[in-house]
Amino acid sequence: MDAEAARGRTLVEESREAVVVLDENDRVLLASRRARLAMDGIREGEPLPQELLSGEAGVVPLFVPYEIAGRQERLVYLSRAGDLAAYEELRSGFTAAVSHELRTPLARLLTLLETARLPGEDADALVDQAVGEVEQITELIDEVLFLSELESGARVVSLGATLVQPVLEEALDELAERAARAGVALRVGGDDGIEVAIRPRMLRVVARNLAENAIRYAGPDATFNLTAERGAGGSVVLAGADDGVGVAEAELPRLFERFYRSDRARASRGTGLGLAIVKHVVTQAGGSVEARRGPSGGLEIRCFFP
């Protein structure tokens, strides 16, 4: 029974919906992370604010009553009136952006294949370039699917505590050869004993995407430092900083947008989704992200975990 209770708590906690479980007196027994972050006044053991139950706060409640062990309880899904329209607008924009991003490598691929059929062309070299275009398309599709799974809740981000340092070291080891080809040195530092409430695989995703961003855009002879330190109030700060070419101040707030690439990065073969994935994973774990100029110039991405 303890295992079933733990499973139920995890399912509610990690729900992508704003959902609460109420007892017969409308006290909160459980609440999802999204409910706690999105709406004020939701605390376990305390009554749910009446305005959330009545819809007066612009929230539309959906009630699912049930009985367990002779007790009357209710699941309450809380959504804002404009959520569906906003979601449809976001989905439409995302679909258009994916179509646009796929069109460019597909056009290059078609040009390469048509050129390879012409007399006197180096077909082998052109096919090698075509393979590179297919690899970029595959990477883009993989990242779009991963982001979609994050948003749908198919990927659980937080489940138990993870020792940070070994995961960071493993992630950078996997990228060592690629970094060497780009002329970027990778370094890991920080507190060896730090843990965060995030699955190891998801922490590896964050670390890899931060490092890959530096490998692609920092430039030759740059150094990328990935560190985990204790922050204020018991938080953990995971920072990826390079001393490379950097990003214009005006572009910093846009770095976490899907498919956004700064002016200097537009010639790169990146998908434009790496930092968007970082933000999505960190926020699902209850944290936040920021981009700023690094202490040695370049770019620093900081991820704050509770």
Local confidence pLDDT in tens for the 306 residues of the chain = 466 677 777 777 777 678 889 998 889 988 888 788 777 788 888 888 888 887 776 777 788 888 887 888 888 888 765 555 544 554 555 565 566 567 777 888 888 888 988 888 898 888 888 888 887 777 677 766 666 666 555 455 655 678 889 999 999 998 999 899 999 999 998 888 888 888 788 888 889 889 999 998 889 999 999 999 988 778 889 999 999 888 888 888 888 887 666 554 444 555 567 788 888 888 888 888 998 887 778 899 999 988
Indicate the pTM of the whole model.
0.55
Kindly give, in sequence order, each residue whose CB lies less than 8 Å from that of residue 113, ignoring residues fewer than 6 positions away. Answer: 126, 130
Residue 174 and residue 288 in one domain: yes
In terms of domains, do 144 and 170 share one?
no
Q: Half-sphere exposure of 189 toward its Cβ, with a 13 Å CA cutoff?
A: 8
Q: Is residue 213 domain-resident?
A: yes
SS3 assignment, position 192: coil
Q: Is there a single domain that holds both residue 51 and residue 182?
A: no
Cβ(133)–Cβ(109) below 8 Å: yes
Rounded Cα distance between 203 and 172, Å, is 12
The tally of domains found in the chain comes to: 3
Helices 274-284, 200-217: inter-axial angle, 10-degree rounding: 150
- Say if residue 252 is in the same domain as residue 140: no
Final residue in a domain of this structure, among 123, 152, 181: 152
Examine the fold and report which residue of 21, 45, 80 is the final residue of a domain before the chain moves on: 80
Integer angstrom CA distances of residue 235 from 197, 238, 306? 11, 10, 5
pLDDT at residue number 1: 47
Q: Verify that 72 and 177 share a domain, yes or no.
A: no
Dig out the tokens for 50 from the structure. Answer: 């009446």
157 assigned to some structural domain? no
> Where would I find the beta strands (DSSP E) of 89-164?
162-163
* Same domain (yes/no): 192, 148: no
Element of type H or E holding 79:
strand 71-80
| 209: helix, strand or coil | helix
Q: Which amino acid is at 106?
A: L
Residue ranges making up the domain that contains 25: 2-80
298 plus 255 within the same structural domain: yes
Domain shared by 96 and 72, yes or no: no
Compute CA distances 115 → 82, 110, 131, 269, whole Å. Answer: 50, 9, 14, 21
Tell me the CATH number at 122.
Answer: 1.10.287.130
Pairing of strands 59-68, 71-80: antiparallel
CA distance 250 to 302: 18
DSSP-based three-state secondary structure for 146? helix
Number of neighbouring beta carbons within 10 Å of residue 108: 16
59 and 98 co-located in one domain: no
**Strands 223-230, 185-190: parallel, antiparallel or unpaired by DSSP?**
parallel
Whether residues 278 and 216 fall in one domain:
yes
Which amino acid, 51?
Answer: E
- Longest Cα pair distance anywhere in the chain, in angstroms? 83
Q: Which of 184, 164, 166, 163 is nearest to 175 (CA)?
A: 184
Decide which of 98, 130, 152 is a domain's last residue: 152
